[in-house]
Structures are given as C-alpha cells and as structure tokens.
C-alpha cells in the first residue's frame, strides 16, 4: 500500500503545490481522495496512471477539491476506458457530479456510478472498507478512513516441525486454513498460525477545523493526512475559514493515536514547509509536511 500526494496545496494552485488530491495505490488499483483542478496532469508526473483509478472519494464541493473531475473523466474516455468508475461524495454528490458530466459535448463510453455517502457510513469492497464521518467545515464535508481487512496470522514453522509435520504440501494446506490428519491426529490451523494481523489504516481529513468525530475515525491509524492551512500564529484565522492550524492537526493526530501525520492543504503563502513541520512536531513528533509527488509506503505491522 502506497500513499502518493498529487496535490498538497489549499484553495488555489501555486508554482510548487497543486490543489488537493491524494492517491492510494493498493495492489493493481488506485483509490483517489479529492480531485482538484489539474490532478490528471499530476498523475503524469507521478509513478501512477490515472487509468488505474477504480474509485474516487470527494471530501466536499469547494472548487479546489473537485474541479479536476470533468477533465479527468474525459481523458479516461479518450484513452478508451471501459471499466466502470465509482465516485463518492457528501450529500449532493450525485446531483453536482451528474451535472458536471453534462458539460460540453461529451458522452462517457464507460459507466460512472455516483453515490452520496452519509455521516457514519461504511462502504465495503473486496479487500478493504472506506468509512466516512462528517467534519467541521463551512459546507457538508466528509473525512474518510480506508481500512484493509484483517490479514491471516504468520505461519509458525518451528512449532509445525515440533508437532512432527513434514515440510511440504501439508504446510500449505494449514496456511490456507485447512485442518490436516497426521498419523490419525488432527492438526488444526490455529495450532500453527499466529493471531490474525490487523490491516493498514489510512485517514484523510478533508478541510476541517479540529473535529472530535475525526479523532474517533482516525483512532490507531497508520497514517493521518490532515488539513493544516495556516501556522499556529494564524490559528484563529484558520478556524474562521473552516480550517486547522499546524498545532491543531498535530493535536488531533496525538489524540487519535495515529502513527504518522502528514500536513496538507498548505496555504499558498508558505514557501518554507519547515516552519509548519517544526510547529506540529512540538505536539506530535512524527509529522511531515507533505509535498507534491511525495510517495510513502504504508507498511504492514508485524
């Protein structure tokens, strides 16, 4: 599972940061969170292809978070996409996005499935789920948590040998969850497999003031990507506009028990990301200011 920051700026693009878009590469698919203007071109500078996108989650309908959709959808069509595309967003998503699709002379060649997501809803897919919660912005806004399903425990080879199981196909059967018969004695998988391992958890805040609901959604996550529009001196201004400061983002990460925090939605006024990072690190040491095209491997816990 890899996290790729395509756009880490807020409000409008700057020379160094595009507007918000964050991709998760998971096996053969790309899951996209927000799609600011120019996201498809950011893909071309990255290691990903926009044709790999399976589903897109929009946090809210402020222009910097969704205006990349029409161009991206049309480019997929021109590149002969045939796979369906799923798009999710807060209340009103179905209405707003279906109107976007009517812009100009364009008829998609593939299915576009649009769904409104409610506060507290969990969507289940093949290998992971995505849960949403409302956060505290000026318009309906959702934060999202992508959680990989629990994975099987590790095979305890020394224990298996101790039980007299010969190395070979019987190991494979136990690892697949089958019981085996060993000279009339039943060996069940739980005798040689460790406890199930929890999957990876990634959380994206969208635009928000510090939000209690997000602390719960982000509980024990591996990675939290949080709004950090202004530095701590401008905290009041950040909150007035519906955003968080560096320190407030760090406080949320600490309260949630996150393992790592990335600051995003950085105001175009900041040219030096160090200031933001060091302010947040006084509260939550494992913080980085994300930059466009930064890639982070989200590793499995042992």
Could you tell me the CA-to-CA distances from 36 to 15, 69, 238 in Å, in that order?
15, 7, 20
Contacts for 243 with CB less than 8 Å, ≥ 6 apart? 10, 137, 207, 208, 209, 227, 229, 230, 265
State the minimum distance, in angstroms, from the CB of residue 59 to Zn ion.
8
CB 291 within 8 A of CB 273: yes
State the minimum distance, in angstroms, from the CB of residue 21 to Zn ion.
11
State the minimum distance, in angstroms, from the CB of residue 195 to Zn ion.
41
State the minimum distance, in angstroms, from the CB of residue 34 to Zn ion.
8
Structure tokens at 276: 């933001």
Q: Applying CB under 5 A, which residues contact Zn ion? A: 10, 62, 64, 207
Radius of gyration of the chain (CA): 22
Distance between CA 88 and CA 113 in Å, rounded? 8
Options 34, 64, 231, 292, the catalytic residue: 64
Cβ-based nearer residue to Zn ion, 147 or 292 = 292
Asked about 220 being catalytic, the answer comes back as: no
Helical axes 246-256 vs 273-281, angle rounded to 10°: 40
Distance between CA 5 and CA 28 in Å, rounded? 18
Cβ-based nearer residue to Zn ion, 55 or 62 = 62
Q: Which residues are catalytic?
A: 64
């Amino acid at each position: 599972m890899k996290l790729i920051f395509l756009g880490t700026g807020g409000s409008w693009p700057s020379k160094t940061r595009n507007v918000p878009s964050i991709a998760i590469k998971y096996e053969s698919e790309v899951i996209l969170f927000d799609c600011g203007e120019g996201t498809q071109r950011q893909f071309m500078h990255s290691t990903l292809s926009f044709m790999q996108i399976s589903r897109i989650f929009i946090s809210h309908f402020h222009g910097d978070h969704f205006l990349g959709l029409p161009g991206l959808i049309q480019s997929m069509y021109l590149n002969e996409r045939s796979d369906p595309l799923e798009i999710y967003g807060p209340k009103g998503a179905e209405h707003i996005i279906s109107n976007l699709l009517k812009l100009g002379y364009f008829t998609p060649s593939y299915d576009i499935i649009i769904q409104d997501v409610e506060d507290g809803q969990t969507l289940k897919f093949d290998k992971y789920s995505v849960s949403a919660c409302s956060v505290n912005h000026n318009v309906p806004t959702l934060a999202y948590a992508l959680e990989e399903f629990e994975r099987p425990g590790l095979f305890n080879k020394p224990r298996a040998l101790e039980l007299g199981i010969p190395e070979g196909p019987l190991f494979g059967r136990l690892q697949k969850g089958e019981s085996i018969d060993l000279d009339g004695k039943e060996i069940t998988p739980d005798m040689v497999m460790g406890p199930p391992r929890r999957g990876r958890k990634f959380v994206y805040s969208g635009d928000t003031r510090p939000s209690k609901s997000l602390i719960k959604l982000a509980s024990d996550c591996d990675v939290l990507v949080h709004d950090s529009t202004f530095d701590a001196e401008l905290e009041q201004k950040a909150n007035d506009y519906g955003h968080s400061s560096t320190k407030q983002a760090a406080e949320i990460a600490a309260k949630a028990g996150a393992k790592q925090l990335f600051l995003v939605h950085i105001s175009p006024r900041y040219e030096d990301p160090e200031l933001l990072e060091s302010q947040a690190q006084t509260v939550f040491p494992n913080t980085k200011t994300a930059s466009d095209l930064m890639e982070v491997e989200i590793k499995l816990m042992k």
